[in-house]
Structure 1
C-alpha cells in the first residue's frame, strides 16, 4: 500500500500537471512567492532551506533552496528604490531521483506612494534543468518468475534523461512599514504588512521527457504577511497566507506565529543584541498541519517545522509528512552611502 500511495502521489503531483516545489516556511524564500518581494522585508538577506518529506513511503523527497536579495540604491530616496536578488532550488523525488534544478535572477523597483508605504513591480528570469535516472526503476518484465533480474530487458521505451528550459515570472507587491523612512518608532509598536500577486512560467516552457508538446502550467500566487505588535508588551502576532493555482494543483496555506521578544538591541552601546522566539503553525488545506518555531538572534534566524500529514496519504505515511529547516542572515544595505542609524534585526 505504501508503494501504491507513493506511485499515485508521484504521478499526480509530478507527471500529470507538474506542480512546482514549495516550502512550508514559504516566507523564508520570498522569490518563490513573488519576484517583487526582493528588498521588501530586509535591506539585505540570505536564506537557506532544506526539506525532507515522505520518508515513510519510499525514497524521501528532498528539496533545497537558497536565496540572496538586497536593496540597491546608494543613497536614500524619497521616491523609491531598486532591489535585486538571486535564488536557486534543487528537488529530488523518489527512487528515480526525478528532479529539478533551477536558478533565477529577480529585479524590482519599489515606489514610495504614501507615508510608510511602497508599491513594487518585480521581474524574474531563470534557467532550469529537469532530470531522471532510469537505472533505479524496476519493471514487471524484469522478474524471471522467482526473483528480480536487472539483466532482463524492461521492454520500456525511455525518453530523454534530462532537458532544459528558460523560465520567466512577474509580480506586484504592496508594503506598509511604520518604520519606513526617517521616523522614530519604539520597537514594541511594529506594524508591518505586505500583500501581492505574481505569475510564474509566463512562457509556458515545454515540460516532457518524451519530447511531446506538454507544457508547464502558469502558477498564480496570492500572498500576504504581517507583524502586529501588542503595544507596551514584548509580544506580537505574525500572520501570513499563500494561495496558488497551477493547472489542476491548488494550494492554500494560512496560519500565524506568536512572537515573544526576549531581548532588545541596545540603542546606544550596540553591545546588547536582540533576540526573539516565535511559535505557531500553518494549515495547508486538505494536506497537512505544520507546527513551527522560529528563533531569532540579532542578524540570524533558525526555523524548524514539520508537516503532519492529514491527506489521503495518511494511512501510508502514519501522518508523517516532512521536516523543514531554514536559516537566515540579515544585514544593513551594503550599497547605501552615508551614516544610517542601526536598526534591530528582529523584524
Structure 2
C-alpha cells in the first residue's frame, strides 16, 4: 500500500476518511440527512431511492445509491398527532472506478411529539444504528514499480495476502427536528443531526495508520408557502461540517399545481440550489399519485472545473408515500424540501 501512485486513488482514500457520501438533493434522502426524519411524512409508509454519479469524466470518481423505507407504529395507542417512526436504509458508495466499495445498513427510529392540539407543531428526537462494510480492491490499483518510460506497462512486484482488504464496524447517529405550520397549508422546519457519535476506527492494514472517523455535524431547515392559486414556493438549506471540510447548500423550487383536485397532488417542480464555492444545481421534478421523481445536475464552477470539464454530477431521486384511505382525514404539514 505504501507505493500507491495513482492520484485518483489518493483522492478517493482521503475523501473517504474526510467526508461521508452526500446528495445534492439532500431533501430527497431523508434517512441520510437526519434520523429525526424517520416517519415524518403525511402517509402510512414511505419508500425513497437516490442515485448519484459525481464527476463522471474523472474515471467514475464517485457513484452513490441508497434505498430506504420508513413507517409509523402503534398509531392507535399513542396521542392523536404523535408519531413513532421506524425505518431501514441501505447505501452503496463506490469510489475511484470501484476501487473502494462502501456498504451501509442502517436502522432508525424517531418519536414526533405534537406540541399543540391541532398537530401543527411537532418536536422530534431520532436515533440510528449503522453497520458499515468497506472493501478496497487491490486488483484495480496501480503501483509505482509498474511505471516505465512508456507508461504503466509492467506487472507489480507488490505481494498481498488477498486481493481485497475489508473493514467492518458499527456506528451510531442521532438528530432533532422541529416542524411547524401556522394554518396547515404552509410548513417550516429546522433540524440538526450528528453522525458517527461512536467515532469508529477505519484501518485497512494491521500495521498501517489508523483513522478515527470524524463526526458529521449538520444543520438544515426550510419550508413551503403558497404564493398563488396554483403555485407554492419551497425553500431549503443545509450546512455540514466534517473533519474540517464544510458544505453549504441553499436554494428553492416553485411547485405548479397541475390538478384542480386538492386531494390528489399533481405538481411540477422547477428550481435551483447552489453549493457555495462548488456548483449550481438546477432541479426539475414531477409529483403524482404519491410519487415524486426528481432530477438534478451539478454545474461545477470551482477550481476543479478544468479536470471535470465543468461537469459535476447527475442525480435522480424517487419518493413514494402511501396516502391513508380516509378521504376526510386532516392533512399533516411535513417537510418536503
TM-score interval w.r.t. the shorter chain? 0.7 to 0.9
Q: Give me the TM-score of the superposition, normalised by structure 1.
A: 0.85
Separation (CA, whole Å) in 1 of partners of 2:18 and 2:196: 12
Go from structure 1 to structure 2 and tell me whether the alpha carbon gap of 1:293 and 1:101 turns closer, same or farther (over 3 Å shift): same
> 1:201 and 2:196 equivalent?
yes
Find the counterpart in structure 1 of residue 298 from structure 2: 307
Aligned length: 325
> 1:256 and 2:260 equivalent?
no
Determine which of 142, 150, 155 is the counterpart of 1:151. Answer: 155
SS at match of 1:153: coil
Separation (CA, whole Å) in 2 of partners of 1:106 and 1:276: 30
Go from structure 1 to structure 2 and tell me whether the alpha carbon gap of 1:342 and 1:303 turns closer, same or farther (over 3 Å shift): same
Q: Where do residues 259-278 of structure 1 align in structure 2 (5 Å cutoff)?
A: 259-265=255-261, 273-278=264-269
Determine which of 93, 96, 100 is the counterpart of 2:95. Answer: 93
Separation (CA, whole Å) in 2 of partners of 1:117 and 1:29: 22
Encode CA deviations 1:241-274: one digit per residue, 9 max, x unaligned.
111111121111111011111114365xxxxx43
Separation (CA, whole Å) in 1 of partners of 2:47 and 2:87: 10
Q: Give me the TM-score of the superposition, normalised by structure 2.
A: 0.87
Q: Where do residues 1-347 of structure 1 align in structure 2 (5 Å cutoff)?
A: 6=8, 9-14=11-16, 17-43=17-43, 44-75=45-76, 77-78=79-80, 80-114=82-116, 115=118, 116-146=120-150, 148-154=152-158, 161-177=165-181, 190-211=185-206, 212-231=209-228, 233-265=229-261, 273-332=264-323, 341=329
Go from structure 1 to structure 2 and tell me whether the alpha carbon gap of 1:147 and 1:227 turns closer, same or farther (over 3 Å shift): closer
Q: Is the Cα contact below 8 Å between 1:160 and 1:210 reproduced in 2?
A: no
Separation (CA, whole Å) in 1 of partners of 2:324 and 2:7: 48
Encode CA deviations 1:129-152: one digit per residue, 9 max, x unaligned.
011111111123123544644534
Q: Root-mean-square deviation (CA), in Å?
A: 2.8
Q: Which deviates further from its counterpart, 222-231 or 252-261?
A: 222-231
Q: CA deviation at 1:12?
A: 4.3
